[in-house]
Structure 1
Amino acid sequence: MTTYNIMLLPGDGIGPEITAEVRRVMAWVEKAHGVTFDVSEGLIGGAAYDAEGTPLSDETLDRAKAADAILLACVGGPKWDGKTAYDKRPEAGLLRLRKELDVFANLRPALCFDALADASSLKREFVAGLDILFVRELSGGVYFGEPRGIEDLPGGGRVGINTQRYTDAEIIRIARVAFEMARKRRGLVHSAEKSNVMESGLLWREEVTKLHDAEYSDVKLEHILADNCAMQLVKAPKQFDVILTDNLFGDILSDAAAMLTGSLGMLPSASLGDGGPGLYEPVHGSAPDIAGKGIANPLAAILSFAMALRYSLDMGDAADQVEAAVSQALNEVRTGDIWAEGFDRVGTTGMGDAVLKALG
């Protein structure tokens, strides 16, 4: 019997509630597929700061590096906003984890389940069948570039500094992921940057073009300015297949696309590197306003587990089953964020029950 080492990082807010539903689905996969998940939990974010004085301890980081896959729920909340040192804020733990794991490729699918097409802010005809994959560079760019900080100006006042910085090697390795993913999908990559006003964007365009011409001419490549990409996502989102972006633009554009699918609470993500454990997390935040009420939508976390099955554990059949079960559950019940007339309204556990019922 194959054993996989899985680390759970429930984090803050609704994190523990949705993680509990993931554990129930994990138990089903163990039984149905004859595998064992050796599961451990760790603290991250505000929960880690409260207990350990840091948003990510060295001990938790070491255990994460030794795992086969890491499932993280969410971090942050008003309890810590502006009340901790900047380098001790909950989000700093997540950024450190991504950086230390060198998970440079963030895969964010924007998939509209047919049952949710009417929940989108756009008309059904614009989003029904929507299937976009964002490939976002995750370990470089303006979020990590140096110099950075807030400094006093000689004549008075202050200045905030962040540096947008990319090397050709960083661009090439993320572009390669995008082209490889496109080969398995519909064979189209849109590379989004701001080459008209940013040198980093110009280098991005040049390196993506060179890689495409040398190794991936079978994939169609289109360059698009990031602001135009935002407009096109609202105007005609189904024109896209794979969207390749840097860290900042990927953060913004993928969140915009998330709302096209009906709910930010529906979307998973995978963060992958070269050989180390993958990091899997729902796109939504910690939702502190509903934490502890048992009404959070656990589906993005469950779908993130499905991505872990597919990309880290080589269990594609199990991933297909979990994703199909989520789709089937949506035909019967809904949590409040995606509720519509004609459906039973359920809470976190009720949605987990529906997924397990569909799994059989």
Structure 2
Amino acid sequence: MGVGGFLRKGTGDEVAVQEMINTRKGVERCVRYAFEYARKRNKKRQVTLCDKANVLIFAHDLWRRTFKEVGEEYPDIKKNCALVDATCMWMVKNPEWFDVIVTCNMFGDIITDLGAMIQGGMGIAAGANINPQGVSMFEPIHGSAPKYTGKNVINPLAAIAAAGMMLEHLGEEKGAK
């Protein structure tokens, strides 16, 4: 989430500060998982780091350095770095260029929704919060959609896809298909 606060809140001179906290350990865990996932998927074997290192010169410098260092352990995986604005543009123009994208939480949230729209909409997309060492969560990215309760209009595909992702994550490849 980060650290932050307000100064003179509610006035014409209000200041809001929101800091982003990244640790080497956390970034490395995320980056390593992306490389392992790309290897496991055995598709393009490509990982793209999505960042904004030209503006977020400290936090995303850590991401770039970690990506480069960890990436050296995966010579069989193609590595790319792309700024988040370019990533969004290329996802719309040529989504097939990507295999695995690794990024911070904020950018991941944005490009996940973009990816959902590219594949057909928020109503059919699944997502996951992965904990490589523990319990993970899989869900339709549209959430519970309470405004549609009782209207018989919800497409169950996102929930089915989330269940498939969970089974794949648990090593139940046959059940995931």
Q: TM-score, normalised by structure 1?
A: 0.46
Determine if contact 2:33/2:132 at 8 Å carries over to the other structure.
no
Matching residue of 2:29: 173
Instruction: Tell me the CA shift for residue 287 of structure 1.
Output: 3.0
1:161 equivalent in alignment to 2:20: no
Among 274, 277, 292, the alignment partner of 2:135 is: 277
Q: Kindly tell me: are residues 316 and 161 of structure 1, through their superposed partners in 2, closer, same or farther at Cα, counting changes over 3 Å? A: same
Matching residue of 1:218: 76
Distance, in Å, in 1 between the alignment partners of 2:39 and 2:108 is: 20
Counterpart mapping for 1:101-250 below 5 A: 144-146=1-3, 148-152=4-8, 157-184=13-40, 185-198=43-56, 199-213=58-72, 215-250=73-108
Instruction: Tell me the CA shift for residue 253 of structure 1.
Output: 0.9
Instruction: Map Cα deviations across residues 119-157 of structure 1 (whole Å, 9 max, x no partner).
Output: xxxxxxxxxxxxxxxxxxxxxxxxx112x233326x863
* Amino acid paired to 2:61: L
Instruction: Map Cα deviations across residues 139-183 of structure 1 (whole Å, 9 max, x no partner).
Output: xxxxx112x233326x86322221112111111110001111111
Determine if contact 1:272/1:278 at 8 Å carries over to the other structure.
yes
Matching residue of 2:156: 298
Question: Structure 2 unaligned runs (5+)?
Answer: none
**Which SS does the other structure have where 1:224 is aligned?**
strand
**Which SS does the other structure have where 2:160 is aligned?**
helix
Distance, in Å, in 1 between the alignment partners of 2:176 and 2:94 is: 29
Q: Percent identity?
A: 38
Distance, in Å, in 2 between the alignment partners of 1:294 and 1:231 is: 35
Distance, in Å, in 1 between the alignment partners of 2:91 and 2:132 is: 30
Number of matched pairs: 173
- Which structure carries more relative contact order (alpha carbon 8 Å, separation 6+)? 1
Determine if contact 1:189/1:244 at 8 Å carries over to the other structure.
yes
* Amino acid paired to 2:131: G
**Which SS does the other structure have where 2:19 is aligned?**
coil
Distance, in Å, in 2 between the alignment partners of 1:269 and 1:298 is: 14
Instruction: Map Cα deviations across residues 213-266 of structure 1 (whole Å, 9 max, x no partner).
Output: 2x1121110110111001111111111111111100110011111111112111
Instruction: Map Cα deviations across residues 69-93 of structure 1 (whole Å, 9 max, x no partner).
Output: xxxxxxxxxxxxxxxxxxxxxxxxx
Distance, in Å, in 1 between the alignment partners of 2:139 and 2:16 is: 30
How big is the alpha-carbon RMSD for the aligned residues of Structure 1 and Structure 2? Answer: 1.7
Q: Kindly tell me: are residues 292 and 150 of structure 1, through their superposed partners in 2, closer, same or farther at Cα, counting changes over 3 Å? A: farther
* Amino acid paired to 2:158: A
Determine if contact 1:194/1:202 at 8 Å carries over to the other structure.
no
Q: TM-score, normalised by structure 2?
A: 0.90
Distance, in Å, in 1 between the alignment partners of 2:20 and 2:98 is: 26
Distance, in Å, in 2 between the alignment partners of 1:200 and 1:293 is: 45
Determine if contact 1:191/1:243 at 8 Å carries over to the other structure.
yes
**Which SS does the other structure have where 2:150 is aligned?**
coil
Q: Which has the larger radius of gyration?
A: 1
* Amino acid paired to 2:172: M
Q: Kindly tell me: are residues 219 and 297 of structure 1, through their superposed partners in 2, closer, same or farther at Cα, counting changes over 3 Å? A: same
Counterpart mapping for 1:88-107 below 5 A: none
